[in-house]
Structure 1
Amino acid sequence: MRPQKVSENDLMESLSKTFRAFGYEGASLKELSDETGLKKASLYHRFPNGKQEMAESVLLYLDQWVENHVFSALTDEKNDSVTRLKTGLEQISLLYKGGENMCIFKALSMDAGLQLFENNLKESMQQWINSFTNIGLSFHLSPEKAEQLAIQNLIDIQGSLVLSKILNDKTIFENVLKNIEQRYIK
């Protein structure tokens, strides 16, 4: 029987879902296989270096998605600041499915995952800070204030994702996005 065909997008979404649910250490090859619908041999054929390569691929996939949807919206100087901010926040809501999805940073920043992906995670986090700092500057905030708000935005987004998941209340995440908007648009 021929192996099941899975699109690259579906594969990355399935792997991402598994890593978000179990973390790097907890995501077994069986769980990764079950979620993707691919046999273990097919996963190893696609990812010869195993689980680490799968996680690296997920990080790259999500980094590209965020770059194309969130960062590009926040930094698109063709649009006014309000439009850029609102579009960026809408894309963040899509990325995390309105607070349903945990952040991949959390899932991959525990123990072995942090050792393996520390540089990737630091670089990604810095891109988030830079993009939010950029939007702050477009609202004529001082560089210091813009960076301070950028960091606070990330703390609030990450914290609200955890709370939304634990309390099973997506409005926590949704309210944080509204609060971020109100920080800039007064």
Structure 2
Amino acid sequence: MPKIQTTREELIVKSTEVFLKNGYYHSSVADLAKACEIEKSHFYYYFTDKRDLMNQCLIFFSQKIQKNVFDISADESLKPSERIKRMLGYVWNLHAENGYGCLFGNTLLETIGKEPFFEQTIRDFFDRWKNALSHLYAEISLPDNFEETAFDDIERLQGSIMLMKLYNDKSLLQRAIDQISSRF
């Protein structure tokens, strides 16, 4: 029998797992409802449709990453080396064990050119990543363009997450993390 009580956050967290595993287009509302142990109609109490749910998943996890990664870059009570260590530690914990990749990267690759609704949310996420890294790189006075270096490192992380998923090899993500950490 389906679960009767649930919260919006529980639906988002459990739905995100389904989206990560199956992708946006291969996750039906029936799949999502089953994973959340609710009736399909219960989703519509919280979300307009699957697109709204996916966007709310992106926003929810963007806020978690804001708190656990981006905000740390500005915490001047910590040395820059400690900040990057914490930021990249969170990235490792988030991606090394799930085996399905990055919610933002996966959604972008799957929906680009087909579902422009998600593009701004995803772009905002990656812009905040770039700003967080740029802030740290400026603080340690990297000789290169801070924003360009930050963007290169985001590419390195995202690429390593995709290849880690493809080859089932966590060392690819670890190597990217080590390369970024070596700047400090």
TM-score normalised to structure 1 length? 0.88
Shift of 1:122: 1.3
1:169 & 1:55 partners in 2: Cα distance? Answer: 28
Contact 2:2–2:39 under 8 Å retained in 1 = no
Counterpart residue number, 2:68: 69
Counterpart residue number, 1:180: 180
Q: 1:72 to 1:98 in 2, by over 3 A?
A: farther
- RMSD (Å) for aligned C-alpha atoms: 2.0
Shift of 1:7: 4.2
Counterpart residue number, 1:130: 131
Q: Percent identity?
A: 21
In structure 1, runs of 5+ residues without a counterpart are none
Q: 1:68 to 1:100 in 2, by over 3 A?
A: same
Counterpart residue number, 2:155: 155
Q: Secondary structure at the match of 1:25?
A: coil
**What amino acid maps onto 1:84 in structure 2?**
R
2:10 & 2:56 partners in 1: Cα distance? Answer: 13
Counterpart residue number, 2:22: 22
Does the alignment pair 1:6 with 2:6? Answer: yes
Counterpart residue number, 1:102: 101
**What amino acid maps onto 1:131 in structure 2?**
A
Counterpart residue number, 1:58: 57
Does the alignment pair 1:120 with 2:103? Answer: no
Shift of 1:58: 0.5
1:138-153 equivalences under 5 Å are 138-142=139-143, 145-153=145-153
1:113 & 1:55 partners in 2: Cα distance? Answer: 14
Q: Deviations over 1:115-146 (max 9, x none)?
A: 1111111111111110010111111125x522
Greater helix share, structure number: 1
Shift of 1:12: 2.0
TM-score normalised to structure 2 length? 0.89
Q: Deviations over 1:23-52 (max 9, x none)?
A: 2222211221122222201112221x1101
**What amino acid maps onto 1:134 in structure 2?**
H
Shift of 1:101: 3.8
Q: Secondary structure at the match of 1:102?
A: coil
1:50 & 1:10 partners in 2: Cα distance? Answer: 17
Q: Deviations over 1:147-178 (max 9, x none)?
A: 12211111111111111111111221122111
1:126 & 1:5 partners in 2: Cα distance? Answer: 37
Q: Secondary structure at the match of 1:38?
A: coil
Shift of 1:86: 0.6
